[in-house]
Amino acid sequence: MKQLAFIDDDKLFDGEHIRFWGYAGNEKVACAVTLYALQHCDQELPKHGLVSSDAFLASFDKLLTSIHHAARQKYSHDLVESEGPIKIMIHRSDLSP
Residues 4/27, Cβ–Cβ less than 8 Å: no
Q: What is the pLDDT of residues 47-97, one digit of tens each?
A: 888 999 999 999 999 999 999 999 999 999 999 999 999 999 999 999 975
Residue 97 has a pLDDT of: 59
Q: Has residue 3 been placed in a domain?
A: no
Note whether residue 6 is domain-resident.
Answer: no
pLDDT for the residue 8: 87
Residue span of the structural domain in which 43 resides:
11-95
Q: Mean pLDDT, to the nearest integer, of 28-56?
A: 94
Q: How many domains does the chain have?
A: 1
Q: Does 9 have pLDDT greater than 80?
A: yes
CATH code of the domain in which 71 resides: 3.30.160.140
> pLDDT band at residue 15, thresholds of 50, 70 and 90?
very high
